[in-house]
Chains A and B, each alone.
Chain A
Amino acid sequence: MNYLKPDTFDEAIALAQKAKGTLRFLAGGTDVLVQLRSDLVTPDTLIDLKGIAGVKDITRTSEGWDIGIAVSGAEITEHEELMQDWPGVVEAMDLIGSTQVQGRATLVGNLCNGSPAADSVPAMMAAGASAMTLGPNGTRELMVTDIPTGPGQTCLQPGEIITSIHIPAQKANSGDAYERFIPRTEMDIAVVGCGINLTVDGDTITGAKVAIGAVAPTIQLVPDAADALIGSSLDEQALAGLADAVRAACNPIDDKRGTIEFRIDVAGVLARRVAQTAYARARKAK
C-alpha cells in the first residue's frame, strides 16, 4: 500500500488520477483503517488529506459554517458557538463511537463511508448542509441529501474529494436535534437514527426537515413527515402524523442489529422524541 500525504487539494487530485487499483482517501481513519485491519479493503494507494492547509479549521461566515475535512468530532463538540447554532449536528457527530474514536472521526469520513446507519448524516441533512468538492473536472457544491446513493456508495466521481462541509446559518427561532437507538448506551452502530430541524413562530411550527437513518438503503429526508409538523404546535395529532410518515418511509432489513418490524416501530417512536427536543430548542432560541 502506498501512503501519500499531499500539501494541497490539487496535488491530491493529481495523485488520485495517477493511482492504480484501489484508492482510498484518509481523514480520521476510523472507518478506512478498520476495513484495512480486517482485510475488508486493502487500498493500493491511500492519500492522507490531513496535511492540506485549512482542513482543521472551523470558520463562521455570514452564510453559516465551513468545517474542514479533518476536524474531529471531539473538536466539533468542544466548539461552543457551533454547539449553540446546531446542537443536533454536534450531538449526532458526538454519538459516533468512543471518546477515542471522537479524537479522530470526521464528518466527511462519516459521510463518505456511505453507511446507511451513519449518525452525522441525518442531522446534516435536516440542517440543509452541503459539501464542497474538487475533482478532475473542477469544483462543485453537493447537498448532503444527494450524496448517499446506496449502502457504502456515494455520488462522488472517482478521484473527486470533498474539500469542506458547509452548514448554513441556523434561522431565527429554530432548533435541531438528533437521536439514535442502540441496545447499549454507547459504542453501537445506530439501529435507528433521526435528525429533525424546526423553525417556529410562537408555538406554531413554520419550517421542518426530518431525516431518518439506518432504516433504508440510504439516509433520506422524509417530506411527508415535515408536512405533518408544519402548521402544528406539535400536538398529539401532529406527532402521530410524524410517526406514521416516518414509518411509511422506512425500508429496513433484518440484520444482527435489529429486525424490520423493530426498526419501523422504533423509527416512529424516535421521531416523536427528537421532534419534541427540537421544538423545545426552537422555542427557546432567539
Chain B
Amino acid sequence: MSKQVITTTVNGDSVDFVCDPRESLLDVLRDRLGLTGSKEGCGTGDCGACSIMLDGRLVCSCLVLGVEAEGKTIETIEGVATGTQLHVLQDKIIEHAGLQCGICTPGIIVAAKALLEKNPDPTETELRYWLAGNLCRCTGYDKIIRAVMDAAAELRKVA
C-alpha cells in the first residue's frame, strides 16, 4: 500500500498529511487532522453528517478519497464561525432548538450555508429537498427548517 503525501487547504490553512489511498477524506480530516466536527453516520453518502465544501461544492467527505484532496480548498464545520462570531445559522439552530443530540448538526449547517450562499430566499420545499441528504432522527426536521428559514431572513436583511 503506497502512502502518499498530500498538500491541501482546510478552512484557510495550508496542511500536509500522509494517507493510505483507501482512506476517505473524512477519515483524514478526523484521524489525521483532528477535525472531528465532520461525523461518519453511514460511510456510503446516505446521511450527510460528513458534509464539507470541496472547491466551493457541497459534498460528502466519506465519498472523497484523502488522496483526491491534493491542491483542493476544503471548508468544514470548524471553519463556519469566524473567530468568536458564530454564523447566523449556528445562532438560529440553537435559538430554535433545531438540534437535540447534535450529531447531524454540523452537516446540516454546512449544507444550509451552501444553499443560502446560492439562494438567499429559498422556499420551505426548496430547503427540504436541498437538505434531503442530511438525515436527522431526533427532531423530525421541523425546527431545523424553521431555524434555517429564520437565518435566511436575517441574512437578507443584512445583505
| Residue of A2, A48, A98, A100 touching B2 (CB-CB under 8 A) | A2
Q: CB-CB contacts of A31-53 with B at 8 A, as 1s and 0s?
A: 00110111000100010101000
B51 within 8 A of A: yes
Query: Which of chain B's residues have a CB closer than 8 A to the CB of A26?
Result: 65, 68
Q: Count A/B pairs, Cβ under 8 Å.
A: 88
Question: How far does the alpha carbon of A46 sit from the alpha carbon of B60 in the complex, in Å?
Answer: 20
The answer to whether B21 touches A103 (Cβ under 8 A) is no
Task: Tell whether B54 is near chain A: CB-to-CB under 8 Å.
Answer: yes
Quick check: B133 and A186 within 8 Å, CB to CB? yes
**From A101, which residue of chain B is reached at the shortest CB distance?**
B45
- Cα-based distance from A99 to B131 in the complex (angstroms): 7
A72 within 8 A of B: yes
Contact B129 A186 (CB under 8 A): yes
Neighbouring B residues of A99 by C-beta, 8 Å: 58, 111, 114-115, 130-133
Complex formed: what's the CA distance from A151 to B24 in Å?
Answer: 27
Of chain B, the residue at the smallest CB distance from A75 is B57
| Residue numbers in B under 8 Å from A38 (CB-CB) | 43-44
For the complex, give the distance between the alpha carbons of A103 and B115 in Å.
Answer: 13
Interface size on B (CB < 8 Å)?
A: 33
Which residues, 86 to 112 on B, are CB-close (under 8 Å) to A? 111
Would you give the shortest CB distance from B70 to chain A, in whole angstroms? 8
| Cβ-based interface call for A29 (8 A) | yes
Complex interface: chain B residues within 8 A of A2 (CB): 2, 21
Whether, in the assembled complex, B78 has its beta carbon less than 8 Å from a beta carbon of chain A, the answer is no
User: Which among A38, A46, A99, A100 has the highest number of chain B CB atoms within 10 Å?
Assistant: A100
**Distance between B41 CB and nearest chain A CB, rounded to angstroms:** 12
Binding site for B on A (CB under 8 A): 1-3, 26, 29-30, 33-34, 36-38, 42, 46, 48, 50, 72, 74, 97-101, 103-104, 185-187
Q: List 16 A-B contacts (CB under 8 A).
A: A1-B1, A3-B4, A33-B24, A38-B43, A38-B44, A98-B48, A98-B60, A98-B132, A98-B134, A99-B58, A99-B132, A99-B133, A101-B63, A103-B58, A186-B132, A186-B133
14 new A-B contacts at CB < 8 Å, known A46-B21, A101-B133: A29-B63, A37-B24, A37-B44, A72-B57, A74-B57, A97-B45, A98-B46, A99-B58, A99-B115, A99-B130, A99-B133, A100-B51, A100-B133, A186-B133
The 8 lowest CB-CB distance pairs between A and B, nearest first, are A98-B133, A186-B132, A3-B21, A103-B59, A103-B57, A100-B60, A34-B44, A3-B67
